[in-house]
Structure 1
Amino acid sequence: MLLPDCFNGMANLARSVTLCLGLAILVCSQDVVAHDHHHHHHANPNELRSLTDSVTANSAAGRKTCGTGRQSPEEIELSQEAVRAWRGKQGCDESLPCTLVGESTVTIDVYNHIIRQDDGTGGITTTMITDNMNVLNMAFSGTIFQFTSKTTTETSNTAWYNCAHTKDSCLDPMLTALHQGGCADLNVFWNNLPDVAGAATLAEYCDPNFLPEDFVLMNFQKAPGGNSTGQNEGDTL
């Protein structure tokens, strides 16, 4: 997917750029480990689409291209042309970053939800969340976008702690009970997400009438201080 295409048709600027740039960072992170770094994105609010196969296939072929095969010079030029065309529409050039044209700072509120086991053990710490927010803001330094922790909730529920994906009956009750804010905000649920790094809905599918379906589900071991070596530097979010 070309980055300019990602922006087309998205009404909410803050969430659009968060999604598009976030996907670029998430999918093409240098920390990809093919056997457990599986990312899911919604094709619609009720269906997750896995990137596992493409990442695994590239790993088997000896490439670390984050699911994107080697591009020919012609394909690279087409991609660059699309980027130049998009930049031209924004009224910016090489000397002026597009994110700085005609915009003031956009602050994105982040609602972090800590999920622990019934006895209160396990889960991410507030220090880990703070460290991850710092990494996120550093990644967007030099742009108009910054992220702030609006609220942090803590919930003890073993079923939610081990909740995996949309096929699990645990997910909807958790999202409905804890989700806050609107489509312009990020709701991040930190749990023990088995076998994968994270899952998320696409911002363009956020429905104001079904806000709980707009979420990011993260394995807390991927945050700074987690035990997922190579993926615990905060770049996964």
Structure 2
Amino acid sequence: MEILRVEHLHKVYENGSSRVEALRDVCLSAEKGELVAVTGPSGSGKSTLLHLIGGVERPTAGAVHIGGVDIHRKTRAGLAVFRRRQIGLVYQFYNLIPSLSVEENILLPLRLDGRRVNRDYLEELLCLLKLQDLAGQLPGMLSGGEQQRAAIGRALIAAPALVLADEPTGSLDRRGSQEIMGLFKIFRQKYKQTIIIVTHDEDIARQADRRVEICDGRLAGAR
């Protein structure tokens, strides 16, 4: 079952007389439960692609369909609600709120959306992330790997169909990186979530079901 379809995506950034084509006619799709790695050199457009898929930025042209919904046809407010409910975002630098506990950070998307907390699912998530004993701790008291696991919990608490991760292991050592990849594989299998990971790490890319490469804003190949 197709969860994601990207059609002829194009993104141009303009600043005065300067014009940069960040993405050029990119088309791709992903199935339910698929783990896809997006690779390519720095500045190739990988993160731009992820931001457009995630609704963080709007394309200059083209469409992004998630679960059959053309997300960029939504209003700004409608897209914000859709993103909270259907898309989980994980970044390299965690972006946790330092004054909130691990549990409060994880629950933030539900609080913002005014939704009821499923305590059974929360406890299951904390257990899978090995954070059950750290739920009351502040982010500053955690290791980098623990903070990234909390960020993953925040991305997954709404049980989104699609999880987008931008260099999620970039700040971690080899052991921490493998732990994070292990978690993504568990969630992909257990919850049938589609996961797209932008990475420079060849070892991480090899563990994906499929790999696509971006070069100079274009889809260079798949293997």
Q: Same fold by TM-score, threshold 0.5 exceeded? A: no
> If each structure's strand is expressed as a fraction of its own residues, which one has the higher value?
2
Output the TM-score relative to the length of structure 1: 0.23
Higher relative contact order (CA 8 A, sep 6+): 2
Output the TM-score relative to the length of structure 2: 0.24
